[in-house]
Structure 1
């Protein structure tokens, strides 16, 4: 809204909007509709499936793979080319599928609009499509309606509006038409305004439309979603960086080998070209996108079993990098269900779990009978959350609400209103009409002259009042919502009176209850585990600061006494983006915030290079869910908007599920890192072997040998590493951070020394084959040595796969062979490699010869040395880390 209509009187608002109390004329409404457009949220422009598909090929790794496929086809390796292209196409198709689903966020916002509205047109009430509403229209609302546009209330009667989806307020808000003077009032405190797509839970109202479509508060959220720039996940950044490094390295090595071979005149131009091309194909881990996709997909399946539904595959890995979890309070950290927590009766405060209903029949009657809640067809409780909480309190203690109400039939009621802040019901009790009242403590005490004390009625004293007010203050400081209860037998002529000033007098005070939306029981332990894992949890809520602080202290999000750790939306408005960035590390709790505040908070943390996860369930959370590195929506209480804007949806709305998902995300990253270490060290070993063989003018491996080693060693073992179980300390490590990569944590140096080791062992075996020949013919000696080098290069890579099961941990521990997929992958790959030597018919195809026992012994010794040397290095790495 350009104007602050909540600050203006109803007469000024009507005048400013060029309306009348009797509504607009039909002709004027049609004119405005043509000028302003329909009261709907426009859908964003969606790309066609073909455009989306083409866009997937902008990724550098994909382009490299396409080049690799062309090179493989030129080299005659048609099967390799086909496999590479299949991987590329599958990745592109999956990307299109995910992108199409993500576009549902704006569409879901559109579907939330109410279809029809009662409006005053030409002085008469008409029912029209909500899309035809214009500013200046006067609309009529009642309980059960969805407010179709932003409105300034002109008249209200006992009006309550549930705004949790927009403001995060956990209970319905009392609304009125009184002017607000504060010019910095946040949405949750604008009690004379109604907002599009919020729900009327009680009362009636007449309001004038102040904004429609994109100009509404929900419309602004839709616009923010529509214009939000897609974020790049840490996984995508890592893969892009790795692709650039690989492309440069492979290009330099392939060109160097080709030029050296040509300058030394050792092979023909065609042979050296094929060798360089084969090396390029082998050096580029074309299986990496498939391995990453498979690992992420398997991680997705594991998360589904833990009730975390992944909408975008990279989100699996991003979860593992999370450093900040900014969580909505209502329904995420709390149950989103008001609950009676404390009861004050007979001058004592009793915890609800210790309360014996037999001790106070009058309190039971007041809480159940002075209540307008209802039981649904499936015995669910319907109505105001405060009133349903009172019923649930007694249902939990074995009371049948239906039987109780039947025993004490209602004969009259005095509805709640915001002026007297009381609600009363008159019931028939043993043929005697009795009034039961509940409401605000101060208002009820003002009408009380007696008190129920251990079953006896006596006059109330000043000391009694002081005690009651002290309990009220103590409960309020705990952020509990306090209600007081009283009763009075009525005379027959008072039973049907609607005059509250007459019947709500000379009341007998019964007691108090304190209610709150309590924390979910499992969340406290989850937050403790998050902190141990180096993750900082934040609470972001539309609730009041006191309530938010109380819940945050109970959960361990904020330390008791940390006065600077909580901030309100109004206080945030006083901070510039630069000031918020400088001070954001102080705050743990954000209260009374608006949607734009949530986005600012996320971006302030991102300005510190933190990986931010944002959880939420309301429409108000959607922009921040998209702005965050990882958006986590709630599957049960969440709106379609928030779920479609999220990367991850929790099927059980359980904060603890996020921590389980983080653990899975960390495991996924570690497994991808293990696969990358395995693939790149193996490919580096191959490149170094060929490079040095070329420089030293030795016989070099043939293109078919290079490609076969690449095929049997790079596929199944690498994929199997992607399903390794999580290591024991995965949730005791600090988050790896935004600037970490797959080459971090010593992985890059591991790849280099392990690649050098593989190359050295292969060349060493070749030298031994030449030094200790078993044939007299020089040609056969070189053929044997080349065969030994070929089979060694393949087998040490398979042996090295065991090293890669842990970056720094030893393989000599229980669980090394627990991954059955890995065990079978090694067995199948080993057989596929050695048959090219053992089967005589394959020798000519793979340019191999039969080896004797001594030669096989040398080959196997090289494999053992590969494991032993890496284990020794790991030992010293662990000692260094200590």
Structure 2
């Protein structure tokens, strides 16, 4: 996307694309633009025909040498059996290579076709659902939690909208979005809060945006373009085989020339020169054919094919045979953190309540007001199959209840929400009012420092008392302790009221609260990643973690993974 739409206001962007926020574009105009811009899909490299792939197998120097040897064996030395054997070996090598490459391509295509998402757009003033491939610049797209952003959008509406952009930035924490025009010419992608980018995930809230780029013109399209244009380099094995082929060729030619010259000079049987030259030439050719290792390419191909099968058994697809041996020559492994070394899924690790910091594994029940607040002050949607949909931080809180084998669904059904004060980035809090035992419970969660300003009481082992300065100090100390462990900390508070509010606002709902506890979450490391790093270190391979996280967070994750010593 060449133009910087994040610094252009909404009216200017809509005018540029001939669109309207309330009506979008017409269906007829959408069809014209689809013809003009093409489908909203990423273009891959041009597919090579089976014949072209087959011919690629003969570009190896060793294969060329074998073909020359086969021709010389048959035509010059009249050794048609040897020539046939060499050709069979060469053809077998080529067929194995083509079959493996075709199987890998088929597997990759199957992965691409697993899902074809659709999107809701506003056309002719009505909201309709269309395949994401039919979206065009100027379309007004509607977003809500759970949606995949289908194209690059300049946001028109952002109601508590949060989007996870880990696919582009590597950051697992969703970005809070806004429709405000940004000032500046070179704003980093992760800071463009008024933009939504293709292939990212909406985790919270809702929004609307006008499409400013589709297909290969999107940010993810730029990444695909760089991948398509990347030069292919030979693997160490292929380089070594090429060097071996050259060395053998030069040595064999040199030896043949020496044998030919010595035979002509010595001429022990004093043959006529013409006959002698022919005999010595045939002798030299026979020596060359005998010296060439015809079985080497086939043996290498078979071994590599077995290697790709082993990789496939471990859920790894290898497109080209020689690539399977690359790991054996690896000195350094540099890996992204989010989703690769970590699970890209927030998980509760610590819970502070009753003045004590507990591990997530400790017992807790639904009489605990910290847990009650986690579940009630939460916008997570629980799907029929138990899948949790929403902001990763909020889904982690609900999942914590499920991990404790608690009847979360029944609890939420028994205590329905009647009012709410949505999250706001300025006050950093969200509140809900739920029915609770004939009364109404106000459940509040948010940043510890902001919430403590509104707390008047504290619940310790079921007993309420006015919160003291010492208790606030202890709470903040626990908050700091968890923050040093790279945990994201939220505070929980509540109060019980007799009836709902006539006008629920932060000024009346989020006042005189009872402190319930703190919860610390983290995107945990993958257990298999820790084992893989340890194995790499034992093999003498240096490991590097790439992340945009704060230094403290990165340090904590690196220590947990064993990348650095504690």
State the TM-score bracket (shorter-chain normalisation): 0.7 to 0.9
Q: Secondary structure at the match of 1:492?
A: coil
CA contact (8 A) 1:341 1:516 kept: yes
**What is the rounded CA distance, in whole Å, between the counterparts of 2:525 and 2:116 in structure 1?**
33
CA contact (8 A) 1:414 1:500 kept: no
CA 1:381–1:4: 2 relative to 1, 3 Å: same
State the 1:492 CA deviation: 2.4
State the 1:89 CA deviation: 1.5
Partner of residue 210, structure 2: 208
- Among 473, 491, 502, which residue is 2:498 paired with? 491
**What is the rounded CA distance, in whole Å, between the counterparts of 1:211 and 1:401 in structure 2?**
42
**What is the rounded CA distance, in whole Å, between the counterparts of 1:493 and 1:309 in structure 2?**
57
- Among 476, 488, 496, which residue is 2:483 paired with? 476
Using structure 2 for the length normalisation, give the TM-score: 0.88
CA contact (8 A) 1:106 1:222 kept: no
**What is the rounded CA distance, in whole Å, between the counterparts of 1:314 and 1:167 in structure 2?**
31
Partner of residue 541, structure 2: 535
CA contact (8 A) 2:354 2:461 kept: yes
Partner of residue 515, structure 1: 521
1:61 aligns with 2:62: yes
- Among 328, 352, 357, which residue is 1:349 paired with? 357
1:183-194 matched pairs, under 5 angstroms: 183-194=185-196
1:328 aligns with 2:336: yes
1:118 aligns with 2:125: no
For each residue in 1:20-65, what CA deviation from the matched residue of structure 2 results, as whole angstroms up to 9, or x when unmatched? Answer: 4343456665665555444333443223222222232222111101
1:434 aligns with 2:435: no
CA 1:302–1:493: 2 relative to 1, 3 Å: closer
**What is the rounded CA distance, in whole Å, between the counterparts of 2:135 and 2:339 in structure 1?**
33
**What is the rounded CA distance, in whole Å, between the counterparts of 1:439 and 1:108 in structure 2?**
43
CA contact (8 A) 2:100 2:319 kept: yes
CA 1:30–1:300: 2 relative to 1, 3 Å: closer
CA 1:314–1:106: 2 relative to 1, 3 Å: closer
Partner of residue 51, structure 2: 50
**What is the rounded CA distance, in whole Å, between the counterparts of 1:452 and 1:115 in structure 2?**
47
Using structure 1 for the length normalisation, give the TM-score: 0.58
Q: Secondary structure at the match of 1:280?
A: helix
Deviation larger for 93-102 or 510-519: 93-102
CA contact (8 A) 2:104 2:317 kept: no
CA contact (8 A) 2:203 2:392 kept: no
State the 1:448 CA deviation: 1.8
Partner of residue 262, structure 1: 264
CA contact (8 A) 1:41 1:109 kept: no
CA contact (8 A) 1:106 1:225 kept: no
CA 1:359–1:15: 2 relative to 1, 3 Å: closer
Partner of residue 73, structure 2: 72
- Among 243, 251, 259, which residue is 1:249 paired with? 251
CA 1:305–1:39: 2 relative to 1, 3 Å: closer
Aligned alpha-carbon RMSD (Å)? 3.1
State the 1:378 CA deviation: 4.0
CA 1:35–1:293: 2 relative to 1, 3 Å: closer
CA contact (8 A) 2:97 2:301 kept: no
1:681-720 matched pairs, under 5 angstroms: none
CA 1:114–1:46: 2 relative to 1, 3 Å: closer
For each residue in 1:613-638, what CA deviation from the matched residue of structure 2 results, as whole angstroms up to 9, or x when unmatched? Answer: xxxxxxxxxxxxxxxxxxxxxxxxxx
- Among 364, 370, 378, which residue is 1:363 paired with? 370
Structure 2, unaligned runs of 5 or more: 270-274
**What is the rounded CA distance, in whole Å, between the counterparts of 2:102 and 2:311 in structure 1?**
22
Deviation larger for 133-142 or 321-330: 133-142
CA contact (8 A) 2:104 2:318 kept: no
State the 1:114 CA deviation: 5.6
State the 1:15 CA deviation: 4.6
Alignment size in residue pairs: 557
**What is the rounded CA distance, in whole Å, between the counterparts of 2:519 and 2:41 in structure 1?**
44
CA 1:124–1:391: 2 relative to 1, 3 Å: closer
CA 1:358–1:210: 2 relative to 1, 3 Å: closer
**What is the rounded CA distance, in whole Å, between the counterparts of 2:528 and 2:33 in structure 1?**
53
Partner of residue 7, structure 2: 7
State the 1:195 CA deviation: 0.8
1:504 aligns with 2:510: yes
State the 1:497 CA deviation: 6.2
**What is the rounded CA distance, in whole Å, between the counterparts of 2:86 and 2:263 in structure 1?**
28
More strand per residue = 2
More helix per residue = 1
For each residue in 1:449-508, what CA deviation from the matched residue of structure 2 results, as whole angstroms up to 9, or x when unmatched? Answer: 1111232211123333333333333323332111111111111244x8654543232110
1:449-464 matched pairs, under 5 angstroms: 449-464=456-471
